[in-house]
Amino acid sequence: AGRRQDALDETVKLGASYQVPALAVSTDLADPKAVSALFAKTKERFGRLDVLFNNAGFNKPMHLMEVTEDNWNAIMNVNGLGVLICTQEAGKYMIAQKSGKIINTASIAGRQGYPAFAPYCASKFAVNALTQATARGLAEHNITCNSFAPGVVDTPLWIDLDKDLMEMGMSERPGQATEEFSAGILRGRAATPEDLQGMALFLASKDSDYMTGQTIMIDGGMVLI
């Protein structure tokens, strides 16, 4: 599920190449009606819902003293409210079947604040809180909720952030912002999506059945807590 149907269709093709059936639904994840329709289609297609992966999110950096209400609301609606709405809708099906796993994508920005990313940081702190609240609220129904917190990841989000930070005057050349943020990574490089997939699969598997309410740092050693 996501906004761009072309990207969703590519994911379906990728799944088919591994003989994994998939359903692609263009969805505004901050719209309760759209999310309700998404999960109804999922249940109709697959018969049950075992795992929810709240991975949608975005950032639009602004200087702390220049953050606008529109900037704040746009980021919080997707990164915070979207997680809550999807959890509520998925929870209805999981409660009925008395099982389920909910996985949220947090961030190092949910552990410490950055002045150019204030709304994003607030949204990821919110993800940590929602993870704990969901774990406590749904435990009696045999539903777990955990999150993992990446740092700098080599994805289009960071490519866009790098451009935005240049436009803000916080860096002078392409790649500089990413390099500077990555300088403190103990593993010596930014993450790739492949570095994160093992944790996501672990949290979706039976191996994590006794874990709930946790936010796992998987940032190459950027933030030590």
Residue 33 token pair? 């009606």
- 93 an active-site residue? no
Q: What is the rounded distance in angstroms from the CA atom of residue 190 to the CA atom of residue 179? A: 8
Judge whether 59 and 158 are in contact, CB under 8 Å: no
Task: Report the chain's C-alpha Rg in angstroms.
Answer: 18
pLDDT in tens, the chain (225 residues): 998 999 999 999 999 999 999 999 999 988 999 999 999 999 999 999 999 999 999 999 999 999 999 999 999 999 999 999 999 999 999 999 999 999 999 999 999 999 999 999 999 999 999 999 999 999 999 999 999 999 999 887 788 888 888 888 888 888 888 888 889 899 999 999 999 999 999 999 999 999 999 999 999 999 987
Q: Which residues pair with 159 in a beta bridge?
A: none
Q: Pick the catalytic residue: 18, 114, 120, 210?
A: 120
Instruction: Give the pTM.
Output: 0.93
Specify the residue for token string 């406590």.
Answer: 136
Contacts of 74 (CB under 8 A, 6+ apart): 60
**Could you tell me the two tokens for 183?**
């300088």
Residue 132 tokens, joined: 């704990």
Helix or strand run (H / E) with residue 118 = helix 118-138
Nearest-angstrom CA–CA distance, 118 and 68:
11
